[in-house]
Structure 1
Amino acid sequence: MTGQVRGVQLARLLGQWHALPGRRRSPDYAALAGAVRGLLADGRLPLGVRLPAERELAEALRISRTTVTAAYRQLRETGHLASRRGAGSWTMLPGNHRVASTGLWTPLDDREMIDLGVAALSAPPQLLTAARAAAEDLPRYVGGAGYHPTGIIELREAVADGYTARGLPTSADQIMVTSGTQHALDLVLRLALAPGGSVLVESPTYPNALAALAGRRARITTHGLAADTGGWDADLLLGSLRQTRPRLAYLIPEFQNPTGHLMPAPLRERVVAAAHAAGTDLVVDESFVDLPLDGTELPPPMATYDRHSRVVSIGGMSKPYWGGLRIGWVRASAPQVQRLAAVRVGVDMASPVLDQLVAVHLLADAPAIVGDRRVQLAAQRDALLGALAHRLPDWRVTPPRGGVTLWAELDGPVSSALARAAEEVGVRLAPGPRFGLDGTLERFLRLPFTLPAADLVEAVERIAGVRYDLDRTGRQRWREPAVIA
C-alpha cells in the first residue's frame, strides 16, 4: 500500500516556504514547487508517497487552490510528480533515476587516505589483555565440537546483564550471539521477512541495512528525518505505520546513523504500540547505545514497552570496542532465539569461540573502556565541529549528543561531486545519497569523528579547498566505490 501525507503534515514539512532563497523572483506556485522539490532532494519527503489533494493542501497552507494546482503541474513537468485522474499524485524523481544503496568495498586499504567513509574506532589498548586472557580460557572449550549456535553461555549472560542494567530484565535464553550486528540483521530478516516483504526505514539510514533489505528484495518505504524536529516527526512516523502496515520496520533510536538523533521515550512507547496495532515487527538497531556524550541520559530501551514480542533488538561491539572483533547479538523472546538458531545453522553454524571469550573479558572491563571512548569521542567531535565552523561556515551541523557521526547540511546539492573531488586530495567521504534511496540527500554528508583530532582538522582543510574549486570544475572521473560502515 502506498503511503500518504496529509495536508497539515506537508504544510509542517514545508515550513516558511515563502522565505526560501529566490522567493521574490518567483511566483507563489513556483516557490511552492521548489520547496517540495527541496524536500524530495533532502529525503524529508519520501518517494512514492501520495500527496494531499489540491484543495486539502491549499486549506492547510491558507493559499488559493489555483496556486497549488499550478505548483503540482510544474512538479509533473519537472518529473517530480506522477498523477492519475481520480487516484491522486505520487512523488518521484525525474527519469526514475535511482542510486543504488548497496554496501560496496575495495580490496585494499590506502594508508595515505584519510578515510571518513567508515565510522569506527581503532581497537582499545585493553584488547590485547583481553585476548591473552581469552586464550587462557580456551582449554575449557577445546574438548567439545565448538559449535554454539546461540553463543557461549558466559557471553550471553554478560549481554543479558547489560540489558538488565538498562532497566530491561533479560535472561541468557533471550540472547543470541552473532558475527557482528550486520549478521544479526541478516538473520532476523531471514526469519521475519519473506522475499518481497514490505519494510519501513528511516531516511537517511545505514547503507548496509539497505543492502541487506535489497538482498531480501524488500519493498521499502521511508520516513524522513529532519534536524529541526529533533529527527522523527511523530505524526508522520506513526501515520506511516498505520497507513502502509509494513511487515517490518528498521529503526535506529539511539544516536541514529547517520544523523545522531536520539528518539525520546514518549515516542518510543507510541511507536511500539502503533507497530503492534499494524502487525509490524520492529528491528531496533542499538549499535551506538553505549556512546552517549556530554552526560546525556538515555531513554529506556524500546523493548521496555513491548508486551507482544514485536521488538527485536540487535547490537554489537563494533562501535564502542572494535570492528575487527566480529561480535554482535540479538535480543528477542526465548522462542524467537531458538527459531533464529534454526535459521542460522544453514548459514554459518556459530561464532568463533575465541572471539566470544575476548568479548567476555572486554565487557567485564566495560566501564573503563567505554568511559575512555566517550571522552575521546567528545574531544574529536568538538575538534571536527570547530574545523567546520572555521573553514566551512555555510554548512549547517547540529552537534550530536552521542554516537560517532555528524550529519552536515551542505551549501548546495553537491555531496557526490564533493566526494569525488575530495578523493583527489586524499580524503574518502560518504556522500548523502549512500544513506537514502533514489538519488536524494545530495545536500548532506556524513562525517564521523572517529579519527584523531589532527586528522579530522586536516581532512576539513582539504575538503574546504576542493569545495571552493568545485563550482569551477566540470571534470568527473569514475572510481570504485568504497566501504561505508
Structure 2
Amino acid sequence: MASRLGTQLGEWRATTAVAQSLADRIRMLLLDGRMTVGERLPSERALAAELGRSRATIARAYELLESGGYVVRTHGSGTRASLPAQRLQRPAAADHDVIDLTIASIGSAPGLHAATVRALDRLAGLLGTPGYSIDGLPELRARIADRYTARGLPTDPDQIVVTSGAMHALSIVLAAFGERGRSAVVEQPSFPHAIDALRRTGHRLLPTPVTPDAGPDGSGGWDANHLVETLRSQRPALAYLVADFHNPTGATMPELERARLAAVARATGTLLIVDETCAELDIDRGWTPRPFAAHGPAILLGSMSKIAWGGLRIGWIRAGREQVAALLGARPSIDLGTPLLEQCIAMELFDEIDALLTSTRDRLRAGRAAVAAGLAEHLPGVAMPPMPGGLAAWVDLGGPWSTALSLAARDRGLLLPPGPRFSASGVLDRFARIPITWEPALTTEAMVRLGSAWRALHAGERSSREHLDRSAVV
C-alpha cells in the first residue's frame, strides 16, 4: 500500500544526485503545505521498497533533511517532518526584492480609493444599528442577485449570502453540507486552498482531470466521461468545480457538459459547489456561458477579490432558499457576518461594474502579453498555452521539472509554486502556474529570473538554499 509521502512524491524523478533530489522534493512538499509539520514519514526500508531505491539512498536523503532541520529523527518514534528552529528566511536576489508568483491577484482597481471614500457616507447611516450582518446587507445582496440575473440566471436577494471572500464562502458551505468520511470530487489541477479545505473537513478526494487541451476560445479541457462516470460509480457527497476560466488552466466548461453534469449530479445526490471567482475575468474569449446553476442545482461561490483587489474581502454564496437557511444556521459557528464597511465599498463598486471589468480586462491582457514574451525569450521550447481569460498561464514544461525549477527560482528571488501544489495526489510536476496578474514590468523581471533558473536546471545545477519559507498560493 502506498504511503502518503509516496503518493505526494507522485511523478518524482531524480534530476541530480538521487538522495539530494529526493531530499529537495520532500522539503518542497513540506514548504508548500502538502505535508504537515509533525507528520510521520515512512521508515527507510519502507520508502526504499516503495520507490524502488536502495535503503542507503533513503537514509542519505533523510540525513540531508535532518541536517537542514526539515525532519526530526527519534529512536523508537521514527522520522517526522519539521521546520528549522531559526526563523525561516525568504530567498533574496542580489540586487532586487523577492517577486512572489504564488499570488495570482491584480492590484487595487483604479477607482477603489474613491469608492472607499464614498462608502463612508453609506456606513454613517448604519452606525445606529447593532452592526451584525449574518446574511449581508440587503442592498448588496440585491446588487449581487441582479448581476446573476443579467448573466442569465434569475436570482432573488434572499438566495445570496455575503461572505468575507470565496474561501470563507467555501468554509461556510462545508460547515453546512460537508460530510466527514464521504468522498468529494475535485478537478486535477485545482485551487490548492480548496483542496486543503476539503481535506481538513475529512473528505476523501476523487480527482478528475482538466487538461490544457482546450480550444483557442478556452472551451473544453474536462474529461466529461471520466467526471460523469466518477459521479455514477462513486456517488460522492459533493464536487468542487471551477467551470469558468478554471484555476489554473484557464479553461471554460462548455454549456452542454454543464447540463449533462448537472443532470447526473441530481441523479446521484451529489452537491455541486461551483467556484465562480474567475467567471468574469474575460480577455477575448468571444462567448459567455450562463452561470452553472442555470443548468441545474448548484451552489455558486463568487468574489470581488480578483476584479477589484485581494485586500477587499467580499465574497458571496448563491444557493437555493432551503440551502441558504442551512448556511445561515451553520455560519454563527464560524463568524457573525461580513464587515459593513467592506460591504459598503462593494456596493459602490457594483455601481461601476462595467468600467471595473474593462480595467481588469486591460490589465490581464497586458500581463498575458508579458508572460508570453518572457517565455519566448527566456524559456525557449516552452509554449504559451491559449488563454482567453483567467488568472494565470498553466505552462507545460515538457518534463517533470516543476519542483526542481521552483527550488532553483527561489535562489534567484522568485517564488513560483510547483505544479504538484495544484494536485490532490502529488502529480503534475511537468506544469507550472505563471500569473498574468502582475504589472508588465515586474512580470518581465520575473521571467528573467525564471529563465536563469531554467538554464541552471538544465545545466545540472541544483538549489543550494537550505532555509526557505512556506509559500501560500492565491
Query: TM-score higher than 0.5 here?
Result: yes
State the shift of 1:368 in Å: 0.6
- State the partner residue of 1:240: 230
Moved more, 433-442 or 203-212: 433-442
* Equivalent residue for 1:122, pick from 107, 121, 144: 107
Q: 1:288 aligns with which of 253, 272, 278?
A: 278
Name the CA shift for 1:277/1:460 in 2 (closer, same or farther; >3 Å): same
Structure 2 CA distance for partners of 1:267 and 1:464, relative to 1, 3 Å: same
* Paired position in structure 2 for 1:482: 471
Distance 1:383 1:223 in 2: 31
How big is each residue's C-alpha offset from its partner over 1:123-179, in whole Å with a ceiling of 9 and x where there is no partner? 012111111111111121111111110000011000000000001000000000001
* Aligned equivalent of 1:213: 198
Q: Which residue of 2 aligns with 1:184?
A: 169
Alignment of 1:263-282 (within 5 A): 263-282=253-272
Is the contact made by 1:313 and 1:331 (CA closer than 8 Å) also made in structure 2? yes
**Secondary structure at the residue paired with 2:309?**
coil
Distance 1:225 1:139 in 2: 47
Shift of 1:190: 1.0
Give, in whole Å, the separation in 2 of the partners of 1:77 and 1:119: 36
Helix, strand or coil at the partner of 1:358? helix
Report the 3-state secondary structure (helix = DSSP H, G, I; strand = E; otherwise coil) of the residue aligned with 2:426: coil
Residue 296 of structure 1 contacts residue 402 of structure 1 at CA under 8 Å; is this kept in 2? no
Structure 2 Cα separation of the partners of residues 453 and 131 of structure 1: 27
2:358 aligned with 1:368: no
8 Å contact from structure 2 (residues 100, 414) kept in 1:
yes
1:381 aligned to which of 368, 373, 382: 368
Please point out which of 114, 123, 136 is paired with 2:121. 136
Correspondence 1:407-422 to 2 at 5 A:
407-422=394-409
1:324 aligns to 2:311 (yes or no)? yes
- SS where residue 240 of structure 2 aligns? strand
Cα pair distance change 1:254/1:354, threshold 3 Å: same
d(CA) in 2 for partners of 1:231, 1:149? 38
DSSP-derived class of the 1:446 partner: strand
For 1:94, the equivalent position in structure 2 comes to none
Pairing 1:473–2:461 present: yes
2:289 counterpart of 1:299: yes
Q: Which amino acid aligns with 2:243?
A: P
> Does the 8 A contact of 1:410 with 1:444 survive in 2?
yes
Determine helix, strand or coil for the equivalent of 2:247.
coil
In structure 1, the residue matched to 2:445 is 458
- Cα RMSD (Å): 2.0
Matched-pair identity in %? 40
1:201 to 186, 197, 201: 186
Aligned to 1:446: 433
CA contact (8 A) 2:404 2:462 kept: no
1:337-348 maps to which residues of 2 (within 5 A)?
Answer: 337-348=324-335
Q: Hey, what does 1:434 align to over in structure 2? A: 421
Alpha-carbon deviation of 1:439?
2.0
Structure 1 length as normaliser, TM-score? 0.76
Paired residue secondary structure (2:213) = helix
Note if contact 2:185-2:205 (Cα within 8 Å) is conserved in structure 1. yes
Which residue of the partner structure matches residue 73 of structure 2?
A: none
User: Can you give the 5+ residue segments of structure 2 that lack an aligned partner in the other structure?
Assistant: 1-48, 53-80, 82-87, 215-219
| 2:351 alignment partner AA | A
Between 222-231 and 242-251, the greater mean CA deviation after superposition: 222-231
Query: Which one of the candidate residues 234, 237, 245 is aligned to 1:255?
Result: 245
* Alpha-carbon shift at residue 277 of structure 1 (Å): 1.1
Counterpart for residue 351 of structure 1? 338
TM-superposed CA distance for 1:337, in Å, is 1.1
Give the drift of 1:108.
9.0
Contact 1:181 1:287 in 2 (8 A): yes
Cα contact 2:109–2:359 (8 A) shared by 1? no
- List per-residue Cα deviations over 1:277-306 (Å, max 9, x = no partner): 111010000001111111532111110011
Residue aligning to 1:397: 384
Give yes or no for contact 1:416–1:442 (8 Å, CA) kept in 2. Answer: yes
Supply the distance in 2 between the matched residues of 1:78 and 1:483 (Cα, whole angstroms): 28
Q: 2:323 aligns with which of 333, 336, 339?
A: 336
Equivalent residues of 2:212, 2:394 under 8 A apart:
no
Q: Which amino acid aligns with 1:173?
A: D
Cα distance in structure 2, aligned partners of 1:383 and 1:345: 44
**1:413 and 1:443 in contact (8 A); partners too:** yes
Instruction: Read off the aligned partner of 2:470 and give its amino acid letter.
Output: P
Normalised by the length of structure 2, the TM-score is 0.77
Match of 2:209 in 1: 224
The whole-number CA distance in structure 2 between the counterparts of 1:374 and 1:131 is 22
For 1:90, the equivalent position in structure 2 comes to none
Could you say what secondary structure the match of 2:333 adopts?
Answer: coil
1:64-143 correspondence to structure 2 within 5 Å: 112-143=97-128
- Structure 1 segments of 4+ aligned residues over 3 angstroms from their partners: 76-79, 106-111, 474-478
Give the direction of change, closer, same or farther, for the CA distance of 1:290–1:193 in structure 2 (3 Å limit).
same
Moved more, 387-396 or 377-386: 387-396
- Superposition pairs for residues 305-316 of structure 1, below 5 Å? 305-306=295-296, 310-316=297-303
